[in-house]
Amino acid sequence: MKTGFKDLDSNIKLNNGELIVIASRPAMGKTTFALNILSHIALEEKTGVLFFSLEDSKENITKRLIISNSMVEREKFDLYNQYKKEKIKKPELSEEDWDRIAYGIERLKDAPIYLSCDAPLSIDDICKNSKKLKLEKNIELIIIDYIQLIKFDKKKLWSRDNEITEILRQLKVLAKELDIPVIITSQLSRAPEERNNPRPMIADFSSSKYGITMYSDKILFLYRDLDYTENRKSNITELIIARNNDGNINTIKLGWLPEYCKFGNAIVF
């Protein structure tokens, strides 16, 4: 199973039974990156994906998927959406824009994408729903956005750190039991912003570094210079492969296209 990012796919594989963590500070594009992987696997590989969003609505997730697959700017799609919902005056979009939006919508219509946006959800809910969808739809990938929002229902006086460790353990067990990869996104602490070199490290997980190192098979960090420096011209994002149980530890470059809700394979000169 491939992510759709050429340079990343030359360094890692999404293997069955693995727990993969995508982490960064806020606003680096974790959700976008996860949705780009979802699009490739569901649309190009024709493989079922279950996506849990614990932060955003189904409507917003669907909107982001349409934008990234139609390659129409977010502002133009918002005009289209308003026109369809509120019956406003038809927006002055180009014929190509209308065609692209129609293509994006049609492409997603019968795609094997299953969205669960009924937050809050506990780890028990996630495991139960995942097993159900595996039986009913034979999903081959689970993506969860993001770990800090997963509830823990056990009536124990555990610290949140211990709860996150147990959540990670159960997600690793789920990946092994269903024999599919599980991807989870995670926030990082403020520690990178307090260093001269703000690139993320495994020590920057705000909770349960033990659980992350114990149960994850791969750890990917997203980092973009423009969020920490005065260099506002570059949209190049570093994808740091910090842990890889069966391949390279490496850093690759991605192009960040926020207006299209998309990352791309970067061309760096």
Q: Which residues are catalytic?
A: 55
Which pair of tokens denotes residue 96? 């190509």
| DSSP states of 174-240 | HHHHHTS-EEEEEEB-SGGGGSSS----GGGBSS-HHHHHHH-SEEEEEE-GGGTSS--S--EEEEE
Cα–Cα distances in Å, from 62 out to 51, 114, 147? 11, 11, 21
Whole-angstrom distance, CA of residue 227 vs CA of residue 29: 12
Alpha helices in the chain (DSSP H): 6-9, 30-39, 58-70, 74-86, 95-109, 123-137, 160-178, 209-215
